[in-house]
Amino acid sequence: MNVSSTSNIEITFWRTWALTVTHEACEYTKQKFIAEKTGGDPVIPSPKLDTDLVMACDRLVDCLIKAYNNPIQMQIDIARYSKMISPKDTGHNKEREVKLLERCPPGHEGTKLVDIPSTVLDATGAIIAWYLPDALTETTQNLSDPAVSASLKGPFSENILKAIARLAAIASAALRVMHPEQYWVGI
């Protein structure tokens, strides 16, 4: 399928716009998270962000703060454990699994039902998981169709970019707070 030069310009515009909006949403979310966490001054969103995206970012921050303030401590040292395992550890070698459990016992936390935003901390206090139920607004969920899989070189590229831009921005904003290094690698 041939793509006209006009379509190439439109595609470039939408890619650039989506990246700019995503980055602005991420910075707003990160700054608001830090302000909420530390009791800092209110954060004003960029005028480049539409009202629905700002509201979605605000909801995400609320969920991130609730999770941050609800830590669940585990007794496992995840850094030590990760140094001991390899891609060969598939969970099917019972002898190896027993040795790993002896050297890095998972602790005696038992089973806990988690139904509110939470973070899971390892023995050193490092966050190893975030649980963020209801972090996405209903609007964001309904405007996005994660089942869509299409080339951005086709005639529907503008519609596809518009449909996923908000969801991508919110997912990136969460990553900006939870794992800044991974966020910057993705950018």
Which pLDDT does position 5 carry in this prediction? 46
Rounded CA gap, 114 and 109, in Å?
13
Q: Are 129 and 120 spatial neighbours (Cβ–Cβ below 8 Å)? A: yes
Q: Is the dihedral of CA 156, 24, 46, 169 positive or negative?
A: positive
Q: Are 15 and 163 spatial neighbours (Cβ–Cβ below 8 Å)? A: no
Structure tokens at 73: 């401590």
Rounded CA gap, 143 and 51, in Å?
14
Which pLDDT does position 4 carry in this prediction? 43
Q: Terminus-to-terminus CA distance in the chain, angstroms?
A: 29
Which pLDDT does position 68 carry in this prediction? 97
Domain boundaries, the chain: 5-74+130-186
Rounded CA gap, 77 and 114, in Å?
21
Helix (H, G, I), strand (E, B), or coil: what is residue 129?
strand
pLDDT tens by residue, 20-53: 888 889 999 999 999 999 999 999 999 989 898 8
Which pLDDT does position 32 carry in this prediction? 97
For strand 127-131 and strand 118-121, is the pairing parallel, antiparallel, or unpaired? Answer: antiparallel
Which pLDDT does position 13 carry in this prediction? 54
Which pLDDT does position 106 carry in this prediction? 66
Element (H, E) at 57: helix 51-68
Residue environment code for 150-180, b if the CB has 16+ CB neighbours within 10 A, otherwise e:
eeeeeeebeebbebbbbbbbbbbbbbbbbee
Which pLDDT does position 1 carry in this prediction? 37
Residue stretches of the chain with pLDDT short of 50? 1-6, 146-148, 150
Which pLDDT does position 60 carry in this prediction? 94
Rounded CA gap, 163 and 67, in Å?
28
